[in-house]
């Protein structure tokens, strides 16, 4: 059998993913995710769109300099200043790629550009040549490619290959394509442009999930000759999102009988951790029934299924949770466990923390173990979430008391500690206990925000379960998320609200110190 074709995984979590409504990542969070993506084994990371903001520019620059194994890519329109900015951001990258794009569909040409197609081809050639003057690795995307006529796609693909592009990505920008149709584009391009195979040009898919077909379309592209898939962790992205990395990779792995001619360099055991990190840092939680990494993906409710599972795992389970790195949920520790045992367990779970942070997590753990008899991995992860999120901590919750009832106005007394260690306290009334707590926090921090979304759920089982609250707040039009975890739902809400406020403060600081 011939050697399987390597399918490059192009991760755009930090670019298309970050464009998700509600997602926002600060500089250090982007670097943390990029490092994890390298662990996961992605081939290319699209780290941002440098012309659009200082933050994107800095992220592409820092990630390019940081990662030695993974290609780091910056996005640019076919406009000189965009390409110059991308090149500047990538100047000290180990493996730089510039990705230029230009819309080519009739609907975009008529309504957005108001230019004839010939001029678009000219612009694209110039864009690719300009990018090529800075880097060897140039990718071109005809935006809205799936709604561009095949004649025009052939013309522009040939033109940009001649101009030096080495990867041609055909985006289904609006998530409109269906698998047969999308796959046929790739087949036809290869048939009509011999240079693709002769020169080893990489064709790439980029699919959106508006019709729930992003993964199916990407796989159809692969079976018709695409050698790169653009995707995001947890499938986050514009609107309904992008093709989900974990679904693509696990489909190809689980059905290796069908996809035997292809391989990726993804280390599937890093999937779970990557998914958790992206969800924690973007604040976009993963739906319970999400394929591969949703909380219910490996849970078996029905009695018949449970019976089958006990007799033989394969009866109802097509994937082994361990293959994607789901930590086996075992009872780990109780109130008598020492710091060493906790530290060992944390290491096994894939985290490296020490010193003061470890001490804080240990203190939290002791407190939790007093309230909750058995402490599971999930509980510890929740504690880690809180403490690791404090790299950007400004305000910390010290104390909270709430009075509420059916016949009285809720009142909250809140005590916070600021970054200088100064205690500040205040009380506030509200429509219910949570509203009162939020009002008190606003009074103390002086950050005025509008609460737009409030979701609370149990992370672990039982009546002493840890509750997780996530909030979305609006601060002068900027939407920011925060998460908090506690066995007490009101405390979880307070922590979530405070983490969002801390995030706003950090973003303001990053902005103020930007070049
Ligand atoms: Mn996109």
Ligand 1: centre distance to CA 171 (Å): 7
pLDDT band at 153 (very low <50, low <70, confident <90, very high): very high
How confident is the model over 332-354, as a mean pLDDT? 76
Q: Determine contact, residues 54/27, Cβ cutoff 8 Å.
A: no
Ligand 1: centre distance to CA 243 (Å): 10
* pLDDT tens track for 282-294: 888 898 889 999 8
How confident is the model over 58-78, as a mean pLDDT? 97
How many Å apart are CA 398 and CA 190, to the nearest integer?
63
**Secondary structure of 236-302 in HEC code, one letter for each residue:** CCCCCCECEHHHHHHHHHHCCCCCCCEECCCCHHHHHHHHHHHHHHHCCCCCCCCCCCCCCCCCCCC
Task: Flag whether pLDDT at 23 surpasses 90.
Answer: no
How confident is the model over 387-416, as a mean pLDDT? 84
Ligand 1: centre distance to CA 200 (Å): 24
Task: Flag whether pLDDT at 70 surpasses 60.
Answer: yes
Task: Flag whether pLDDT at 95 surpasses 90.
Answer: yes
pLDDT at 175: 98
Which of 194-203, 269-278, 445-454 has the least mean pLDDT?
445-454
Ligand 1: centre distance to CA 174 (Å): 8
How many Å apart are CA 63 and CA 511, to the nearest integer?
18
More confident site: 227 or 284: 227
Ligand 1: centre distance to CA 208 (Å): 7
Ligand 1: centre distance to CA 371 (Å): 46
pLDDT at 312: 66
More confident site: 459 or 234: 234
How confident is the model over 82-96, as a mean pLDDT? 98
More confident site: 329 or 234: 234
pLDDT at 391: 54
How many Å apart are CA 229 and CA 240, to the nearest integer?
18
Ligand 1: centre distance to CA 70 (Å): 21
Which of 136-150, 308-322, 493-507 has the least mean pLDDT?
308-322
Ligand 1: centre distance to CA 96 (Å): 20
Q: CA-based Rg of the chain, rounded to a whole angstrom? A: 25
- Maximum CA pair distance of the chain? 79
How confident is the model over 489-510, as a mean pLDDT? 80
How confident is the model over 33-41, as a mean pLDDT? 96
More confident site: 312 or 354: 354
Q: What is the torsional sign of CA 193, 197, 201, 203? A: positive
Which of 258-262, 317-321, 433-437 has the least mean pLDDT?
317-321
pLDDT at 337: 78
**What is the set of domains in the chain, with CATH numbers?**
7-282 (3.20.20.70), 298-327 (no CATH), 339-389 (no CATH), 395-513 (3.30.160.270)
pLDDT at 62: 97
Residue matched to tokens 């920008």: 173
Average pLDDT in the chain:
88
CA distances from 196 to 145, 147, 204, 229 (A): 17, 21, 12, 17
Ligand 1: centre distance to CA 160 (Å): 20
How many Å apart are CA 359 and CA 381, to the nearest integer?
15
pLDDT band at 329 (very low <50, low <70, confident <90, very high): low
pLDDT at 510: 45
pLDDT band at 476 (very low <50, low <70, confident <90, very high): confident
* pLDDT tens track for 300-326: 444 455 555 556 666 677 888 889 988
Ligand 1: centre distance to CA 16 (Å): 6
Ligand 1: centre distance to CA 199 (Å): 27
Which of 27-36, 185-194, 422-431, 445-454 has the least mean pLDDT?
445-454
pLDDT at 34: 97
Which of 75-84, 271-280, 323-332, 344-353 has the least mean pLDDT?
323-332
Ligand 1: centre distance to CA 17 (Å): 8
How confident is the model over 226-237, as a mean pLDDT? 98
More confident site: 502 or 306: 502
pLDDT at 328: 60
Ligand 1: centre distance to CA 503 (Å): 26
Length of the chain: 515
């Amino acid at each position: 059998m011939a050697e399987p074709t390597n399918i490059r995984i192009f991760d755009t979590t930090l670019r298309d993913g970050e464009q998700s409504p509600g997602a926002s990542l600060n500089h250090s969070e982007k670097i943390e995710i990029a490092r994890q993506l390298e662990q996961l084994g992605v081939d290319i990371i699209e780290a941002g769109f440098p012309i659009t903001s200082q933050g994107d520019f800095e992220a592409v620059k820092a990630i390019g300099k940081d990662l030695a194994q993974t290609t780091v890519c910056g996005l640019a329109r076919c406009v000189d200043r965009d390409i110059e900015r991308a090149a500047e951001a990538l100047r000290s990258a180990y493996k730089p790629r510039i990705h230029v794009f230009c819309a080519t569909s009739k609907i975009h040409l008529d309504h957005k550009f108001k230019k004839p197609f010939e001029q678009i081809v000219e612009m694209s050639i110039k864009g690719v040549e300009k990018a090529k003057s800075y880097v060897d690795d140039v990718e071109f995307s005809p935006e809205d490619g799936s709604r561009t006529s095949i004649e025009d796609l052939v013309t522009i693909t040939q033109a940009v290959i001649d101009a030096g592009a080495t990867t041609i990505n055909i985006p289904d920008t609006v998530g409109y394509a269906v698998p047969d149709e999308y796959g046929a584009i790739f087949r036809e391009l290869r048939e009509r442009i011999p240079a693709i195979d002769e020169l080893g040009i990489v064709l790439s898919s980029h699919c959106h999930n508006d019709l729930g077909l992003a993964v199916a379309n990407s796989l159809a592209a692969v079976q018709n000759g695409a050698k790169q898939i653009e995707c995001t962790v947890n499938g986050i992205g514009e609107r309904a999102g992008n093709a989900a990395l974990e679904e693509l990779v696990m489909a190809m792995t689980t059905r290796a009988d069908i996809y035997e001619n292809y391989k990726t360099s993804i280390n599937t055991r890093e999937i779970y951790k990557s998914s958790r990190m992206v969800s924690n840092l973007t604040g976009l939680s993963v739906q319970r029934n999400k394929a591969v990494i949703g909380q219910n993906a490996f849970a078996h409710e029905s009695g018949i299924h449970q019976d089958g599972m006990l007799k033989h795992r394969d009866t109802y389970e097509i994937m082994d949770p361990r293959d994607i790195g789901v930590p086996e949920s075992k009872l780990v520790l109780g109130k008598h466990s020492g710091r060493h045992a906790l530290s060992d367990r944390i290491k096994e779970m894939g985290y490296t923390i020490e010193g003061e942070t470890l001490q804080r997590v240990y203190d939290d753990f002791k407190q939790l173990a007093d309230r909750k008899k058995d402490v599971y991995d999930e509980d510890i992860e929740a504690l880690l979430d809180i403490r690791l999120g404090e790299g950007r901590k400004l305000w910390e919750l010290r104390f909270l008391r709430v009075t509420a009832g059916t016949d009285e106005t809720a009142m909250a007394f809140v005590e916070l500690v600021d970054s200088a260690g100064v205690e500040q306290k205040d009380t506030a009334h509200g429509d219910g206990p949570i509203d009162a707590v939020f009002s008190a926090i606003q009074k103390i921090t002086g950050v005025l925000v509008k609460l737009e979304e409030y979701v609370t759920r149990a992370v672990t089982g039982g009546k002493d379960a840890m509750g997780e609250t996530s909030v979305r707040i609006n601060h002068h039009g900027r939407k920011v998320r925060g998460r908090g975890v506690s066995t007490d739902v009101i405390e979880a809400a307070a922590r979530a609200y405070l983490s969002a406020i801390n995030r706003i403060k950090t973003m303001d600081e990053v902005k103020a110190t930007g070049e």
